[in-house]
Each structure stands twice: as C-alpha cells, then as structure tokens.
A and B are shown apart, each in its own frame.
Chain A
Amino acid sequence: MENPFAREPRPSVSCLWQAATGMALLFLLGLHFVAQHFVAAGGLRSFSDVVSYLRNPVILGLELLFLVVVTSHALLGVRSILFDFGLSARMQQRVSKTLTLIGVLTATYGVWLTWVIIQ
C-alpha cells in the first residue's frame, strides 16, 4: 500500500515544530507529572518542597524548557485550528504574530513566576 502522506506537500516548519515539541512533551510532561504529582506525598508538593525542588538547577532548566515547549505546542495547535477558518494570507500572518506575542508573554510570565518562587 502506498503511503498517502508521501503525496502531500513537504511539511512546513511549524508542522515539524509541532511534531518535535509533541515528542519532547512526552518526556517533559511525563517528568513534570510524575515529579509533581506522583512522587510528592499526597500528590502535591508543599510550598517549601516546591521551592527546594525548583532550586535544583537541572530541574529548573527542565521545567523552563517544559514551559517553552508546551506553550509553543499549544499555540501552534490554536493556530492550525484558526487557519481551518480559511483565513486570508494577511489574516494568517496577523494570527501568527498575535499568537507569537501571546507565547512570549506566557513564557515571560512563567519565568517571572519561577523567579519569584525561588527567591
């Protein structure tokens, strides 16, 4: 049987990024979920536990990477749903710019929040 996907045009950068971030999320979300909700007693860390957990530089790096990856994956998903409305090229560009801005603001908020918590 012929692979029907082989007939499709080459995937766009955003499509590849969506797939790559999705694959990365399997690891990062799994780690986040297990560390925050399964390892912690009672399924949730106390305030002091959260602070000491995030003060570990490796964990901090992974959590921030998780934030960026999950935000970009989510916003690319929103983008593809919005593009299904059959937007004009100009409108697609506007949507992409707006979602990029939302992504940057979300990541900035996450980094700020993390900084406040570990101080």
Chain B
Amino acid sequence: MIPLNPPRIKRAVRWFDVRHRRTGMWAYSLNRITSIILFGYLYLHLAVLSILARGPGSWDSFMSLARSRVFLSLDVFLLAAILIHGLNGVRVVLTGMGYGVRMQKLLFAGVMLLAVLLWGTAAIKIYGS
C-alpha cells in the first residue's frame, strides 16, 4: 500500500495549482490534466467498442445514439483534449531536444493557437456531419 500522508499528496498535486506560476507550469499542468482525461477515455472507448463483438444489431443501434448532439459534443470536447495534449507534447519534445528553448512561451502560444484553429475546423465538420 502507498502511505497517503499529506506531504506526499501535496507534492503529487503541486503541478495542479497554477496560481502565480509561469507559462511553462501552465503548459505542464494542461498536459497532465488532458492526459488524465485521455487515459479515462481510452478505456471508455475500448469498453464501447466491445459492442461490436455483440454483432451488427447492437452496433447499429448504438450508432443512432452516438450521432446524437450530446455524443457529438463529447467528441468535440475529446478532440480539444487530444489537440492540446498532442501539440503541447510536440513542444515538449522540441524543447527537450534543444529547439526553440529561447522562445518557449511563443512556441506554447503558437501550438495552442494551432490547436484552437484545428479544433474549430473539426468541430464544424463534426456538427455538420
């Protein structure tokens, strides 16, 4: 068992508190929050796909539910998490390799702008489909 004493918990969730922190910490926290969302979604997705094993009847009736406005909104939310996590991850790899270290903040702003643009385009496509 992991002893859950307050200092350990404080240490582990320190990254969650972005008050009075710099851009780098915001980027780090955002990456972690989206990673937790995406981890939960991965297993939810695998569970949903098990409907396919029950045959065409089950899957095709699920499809009508999956095309509802609520489900599409969840897809759009998920896509935001994917884009933020993925593009921020590219920034982390680049700076880790020594590229763009001087303009880290600008790079973060750039990838977030790209995320918003891609997200907006994809959201229009998802709602329009």
Contacts and interface: CB of A to CB of B under 8 A. Distances in A.
A23 interface: yes
A37 interface: yes
Interface in B76-92: 79, 82, 86, 89-90, 92
Given A74-B42, A84-B15, A113 B86 contact: no
A91 B92 CA distance: 28
Interface string B86-129: 10011011011010011000000000000000000010011001
22 contacts: A1-B101, A3-B98, A6-B98, A22-B89, A22-B93, A23-B90, A33-B79, A38-B129, A41-B129, A46-B59, A46-B60, A47-B56, A48-B56, A70-B42, A81-B12, A85-B8, A85-B11, A86-B8, A91-B2, A113-B52, A113-B53, A116-B53
Top 5 A-B pairs, shortest CB-CB distance:
A47-B56, A43-B129, A47-B59, A3-B98, A85-B12
Given A5-B95, A23-B93, 16 more contacts: A1-B102, A26-B90, A33-B79, A44-B63, A50-B52, A50-B59, A74-B38, A84-B15, A85-B8, A85-B12, A86-B11, A113-B52, A113-B53, A116-B52, A117-B52, A117-B53
Interface of A: 1, 3-6, 11, 19, 22-23, 25-26, 29, 33, 37-38, 41-44, 46-48, 50, 70-71, 74, 77-78, 81, 84-87, 91, 106, 109-110, 113, 116-117
Interface of B: 2, 8-9, 11-12, 15, 32, 35-36, 38-39, 42-43, 46, 49-50, 52-53, 55-56, 59-60, 63, 66-67, 72, 75, 79, 82, 86, 89-90, 92-93, 95-96, 98, 101-102, 122, 125-126, 129
